[in-house]
């Protein structure tokens, strides 16, 4: 019974140590949105902008201020009057108490408060666009890493298959050597090639493990977490033409939308410059209370209570041409943003055309490389059978085997390259999502 329990315990520990979480792309995207540190920081910026986007922050609401002061004095006093009287007091005490409740409300400020509220709204929209842009960049980065791991898994299978072929070749070479149909040199060469394939497989496993570390880093999870990715690299082929893509970026590209939002804010800045050209009207009102006592002086005590209210009007007649100078600067800043927008459109157009050409050409090359794999695999199968019959040398067999591996790896590299182009085109067009 004890032996059985020990066996079950050991099995449970081994199973736990080797267990891996199955991770698909949808789950990876969920983890990214929940845990990625860069996304979290931009989300905090959006929260701040939302709090700032209020009517009170724009100056619509009145200000209510409560003041209160009480002072105490102890003085040696000597007072001499015009009629000759003299009044003296040592250590005379006096105190004064005052308080007030004042309200100030700006009724008109040259439309500044309305412009400031619009500016706060645009700033909030800016943080929202920046958040969407950051999410798109991180999704694109995650997808590239994710499919990169799938690529390394496929390559690991290629090297594992090559090693299996080499092991079989070593067995055949040893049998031939035993029956005297081949020299020991053939066996040694087969062992050398097998060791090379073993080293390639070990290096590939290392690359795969490092890619997993990169995946955990962007997901914001424990770096040592192990995953099993049961996925393949699929090409969507959903891009009809460059004209359609160029129209899509005008509506969806976040970089272009951010630029347009900056231009809208620059127009508000231009209007804010002209606020001093308008008068300013404020209402104020309040209640005050004052009380004082003194042991010496003209008054023994006094008390004042009452209300104060009125209107404050101001108008800047001349401010040293500050408004004119600031208006000229605002126009230049607006022009700069327009130039920046045109530059963004130009760069996006170049990217779309270049990526689309590479994408289309890559699809054609992918078909050719897929055929190369089929032919290379058939060639390797025939060559291995000929080797078994002694109709092919080790060198020729190895060369055919290497060409097959090269065809497999070239196909996988091209597939991954096309997938990255597809991801980038979707990101530029604002079509990356978690679905």
Q: For residue 48, give both structure tokens.
A: 């701040």
pLDDT at 5 over 70: no
pLDDT value of residue 8 = 33
Q: What count of residues does the chain have?
A: 435
Quickly state the pLDDT bin for 148 (edges 50, 70, 90).
very high
User: Model confidence over 421-431: pLDDT tens digits?
Assistant: 999 999 999 98
User: Model confidence over 69-117: pLDDT tens digits?
Assistant: 888 777 667 666 677 777 776 776 778 888 999 999 999 999 999 999 9
Rounded CA-CA distance 27/24 in Å is 5
Q: Find the mean pLDDT for residues 255-271.
A: 96
pLDDT value of residue 428 = 94
pLDDT value of residue 3 = 37
Q: How many CA atoms lie within 13 A of 175 on its CB side?
A: 10
pLDDT value of residue 374 = 92
- Count CB neighbours of 181 within 10 A: 10
Average pLDDT, the chain: 86
pLDDT at 118 over 80: yes
pLDDT value of residue 98 = 86
Opening angle at CA 113, ends 109 and 114, nearest 5: 115
Quickly state the pLDDT bin for 18 (edges 50, 70, 90).
very low
Rounded CA-CA distance 342/353 in Å is 17
3 torsion bin: left (phi>0), alpha (psi -120 to 50), beta (else): alpha
177-181, 380-384, 415-419: range with lowest mean pLDDT = 177-181
Highest mean pLDDT, choosing among 11-25, 67-81, 132-146: 132-146
DSSP H or E run through 426: helix 394-428
Quickly state the pLDDT bin for 293 (edges 50, 70, 90).
confident
Q: At what angle do helices 242-252 and 394-428 cross, to 10 degrees?
A: 50
Percent of the chain beyond pLDDT 90? 59
User: Model confidence over 317-376: pLDDT tens digits?
Assistant: 998 899 999 999 999 999 999 999 999 999 999 999 999 999 999 999 999 999 999 999
The ranges of the chain annotated as CATH 1.20.1600.10 are: 24-53+110-279+319-428
- Nearest Cα to Cα of residue 426 among 343, 349, 347, 352: 352
pLDDT at 173 over 90: no
| Pairwise pLDDT comparison (240 vs 201), residue with the higher score | 201
Quickly state the pLDDT bin for 314 (edges 50, 70, 90).
very high
Contacts of 73 (CB under 8 A, 6+ apart): 93, 94, 95
Q: For residue 153, give both structure tokens.
A: 């898994």
Rounded CA-CA distance 423/400 in Å is 35
Quickly state the pLDDT bin for 253 (edges 50, 70, 90).
very high
Contacts of 70 (CB under 8 A, 6+ apart): 95, 96, 97, 98
pLDDT value of residue 298 = 60
pLDDT at 288 over 80: yes
Q: Find the mean pLDDT for residues 45-59.
A: 94
pLDDT at 184 over 80: no
pLDDT at 256 over 60: yes
pLDDT at 12 over 90: no
Domain 24-53+110-279+319-428, CATH: 1.20.1600.10
94-108, 181-195, 262-276, 292-306: range with lowest mean pLDDT = 292-306
Q: Find the mean pLDDT for residues 178-193.
A: 79
Q: How many CA atoms lie within 13 A of 331 on its CB side?
A: 7
Contacts of 173 (CB under 8 A, 6+ apart): 182, 186, 187, 189, 190, 394
Q: Find the mean pLDDT for residues 199-213.
A: 93
| Pairwise pLDDT comparison (347 vs 393), residue with the higher score | 347
Q: For residue 36, give both structure tokens.
A: 């990625």
DSSP label at residue 405? H
């Amino acid at each position: 019974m004890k032996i059985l329990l020990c066996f079950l315990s050991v099995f449970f520990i081994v199973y736990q140590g080797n267990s891996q979480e199955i991770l698909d792309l949808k789950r990876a995207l969920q983890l990214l949105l929940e845990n990625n540190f860069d996304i979290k920081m931009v989300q905090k910026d959006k929260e701040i902008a939302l709090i700032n986007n209020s009517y009170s922050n724009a100056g619509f609401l009145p200000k209510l201020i409560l003041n209160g002061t009480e002072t105490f004095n102890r003085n040696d006093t000597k007072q001499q009057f015009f009629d000759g009287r003299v009044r003296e007091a040592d250590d005379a005490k006096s105190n004064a108490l005052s308080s007030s409740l004042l309200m100030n409300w700006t009724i008109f400020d040259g439309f500044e408060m309305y412009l400031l509220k619009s500016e706060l709204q645009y700033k909030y929209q800016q943080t929202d666009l920046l958040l969407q842009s950051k999410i798109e960049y991180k999704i694109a980065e995650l997808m590239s890493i994710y499919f990169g791991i799938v690529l390394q898994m496929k390559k690991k299978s290629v090297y594992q298959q090559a090693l299996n072929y080499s092991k079989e070749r070593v067995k055949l070479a040893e049998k031939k050597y035993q029956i005297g149909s081949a020299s020991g040199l053939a066996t040694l060469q087969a062992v050398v090639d097998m060791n090379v394939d073993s080293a390639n497989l070990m290096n590939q496993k290392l690359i795969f493990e490092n890619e997993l570390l990169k995946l955990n880093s962007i997901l914001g999870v424990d770096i040592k977490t192990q995953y099993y990715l049961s996925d393949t690299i699929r090409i969507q082929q959903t891009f009809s033409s460059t004209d359609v893509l160029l129209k899509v970026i005008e509506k969806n590209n976040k970089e272009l939308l951010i630029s347009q939002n900056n231009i809208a804010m620059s127009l508000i800045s231009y209007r804010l410059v002209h606020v001093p050209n308008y008068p300013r009207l404020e209402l104020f009102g309040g209640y005050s209370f004052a009380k004082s006592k003194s042991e010496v002086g003209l008054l023994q005590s006094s008390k004042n209570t009452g209300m104060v209210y009125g209107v404050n009007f101001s108008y800047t007649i001349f401010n040293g041409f500050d408004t004119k100078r600031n208006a000229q600067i605002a126009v230049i800043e607006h022009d700069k943003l327009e130039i920046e927008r045109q530059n963004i459109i130009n760069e996006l157009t170049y990217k779309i055309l270049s990526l689309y050409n590479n994408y289309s050409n890559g699809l054609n090359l992918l078909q050719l490389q897929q055929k190369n794999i089929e032919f290379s695999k058939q060639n390797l199968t025939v060559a291995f059978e000929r080797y078994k019959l002694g109709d092919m040398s080790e060198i020729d067999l190895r060369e055919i085997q290497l060409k097959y591996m090269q065809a497999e790896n070239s196909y996988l590299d091209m597939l991954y390259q096309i997938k990255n182009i597809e991801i980038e085109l979707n990101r530029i067009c604002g079509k990356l999502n978690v679905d």
